[in-house]
């Protein structure tokens, strides 16, 4: 075959391989993390931990009851609340750092940022609703206003096999986990980190197309050479 025709055949093979990879194989390749996670989901006793950032308008008690009634539920814990106010100056920040701990004896550790956010840890199963009510009552008494918004942080632990069910249940309420930890998530992250990008995968498919084309072009010379090589090995063994 003339060299120009060989180059044309290889170019066409690369384009066909790339197009086939991009449109047919790439969607399957993208599903590899999900395929890998299916194994982890079916291993008994595997758990996933979902970190939730909830608006204070969410009925956390009702949410807890609904989640706990779902198969695969392990635990649900409210960990802290974040109350955004206004950007503090140094004097205001020092004031809130001194006073917050005296508002409610059930408050755990707390931090006051200069940006005006106060984060209060919840201890001894103290609910976010009670914590926010204490702060809201104090705030109204001192400043004569009401809190417009607050955020509740919670941790949900579920069976790995039921992760999809709980994610869908949360999504139906407009809630998406800010972070997930567990065997399934680790499997997805490891698979993603080892995968090629879509561009790299497409180029690889094009290169495989070139390899197939080369084998097709030179198959008539490769096969006899392979047979002679095998015959040589057999004769050498007999000796």
What does the block give as tokens for 78?
Answer: 């409210």
pTM above 0.85, yes or no: no
Report pLDDT for 211. Answer: 84
pLDDT means per 10 residues, the chain with 239 residues, are 69 83 78 70 82 91 92 93 90 89 85 90 87 91 86 93 90 91 76 76 84 75 66 63
pLDDT at 229: 66
How far, in Å, CA of 78 to CA of 89, rounded? 30
Reported for 128-136, long-range contacts at CB under 8 A and 24+ positions apart, including other chains, are 128/56, 128/60, 128/78, 128/81, 128/152, 128/154, 129/60, 129/61, 130/106, 131/81, 131/104, 131/106, 131/107, 132/56, 132/81, 132/83, 134/103, 134/104, 134/106, 134/107, 135/83, 135/100, 135/103, 135/104
- Which pLDDT value is given to residue 83? 92
Q: What is the pLDDT of residue 75?
A: 94
Q: What is the pLDDT of residue 235?
A: 64
What pLDDT score does 3 carry? 66
- C-alpha 146/C-alpha 92 separation (Å) is 18
State the pLDDT at residue 27: 79
Q: Are 85 and 180 in contact, with CB atoms under 8 Å apart?
A: no
Domain locations in the chain as residue ranges: 3-30+196-238, 45-182
* Residue 60 near residue 128 (C-beta atoms within 8 A): yes
């Amino acid at each position: 075959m003339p060299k120009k025709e060989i180059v044309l055949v290889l170019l066409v093979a690369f384009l066909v391989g790339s197009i086939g990879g991009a449109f047919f194989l790439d969607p399957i390749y993208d599903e590899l993390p999900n395929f890998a996670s299916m194994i982890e989901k079916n291993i008994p006793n595997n758990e996933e931990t979902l970190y939730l950032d909830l608006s204070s308008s969410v009925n956390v008690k009702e949410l807890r009851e609904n989640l706990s009634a779902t198969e695969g539920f392990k635990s649900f814990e409210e960990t802290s609340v974040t109350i955004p106010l206004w950007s503090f100056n140094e004097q205001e920040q020092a004031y809130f750092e001194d006073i917050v701990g005296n508002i409610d004896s059930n408050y755990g550790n707390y931090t006051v940022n200069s940006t005006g956010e106060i984060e209060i840890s919840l201890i001894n199963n103290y609910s976010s609703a009670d914590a926010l009510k204490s702060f809201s009552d104090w705030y109204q008494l001192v400043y004569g206003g009401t809190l417009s918004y607050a955020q509740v942080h919670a941790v949900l632990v579920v069976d790995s096999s039921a992760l999809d069910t709980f994610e869908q249940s949360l999504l139906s309420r407009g809630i998406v986990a800010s972070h997930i930890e567990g065997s399934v998530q680790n499997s997805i992250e490891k698979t993603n980190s080892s995968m090629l990008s879509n561009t790299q995968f497409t180029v690889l498919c094009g290169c495989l197309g070139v390899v197939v084309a080369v084998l097709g072009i030179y198959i008539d010379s490769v096969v006899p050479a392979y047979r002679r090589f095998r015959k040589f090995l057999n004769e050498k063994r007999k000796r």
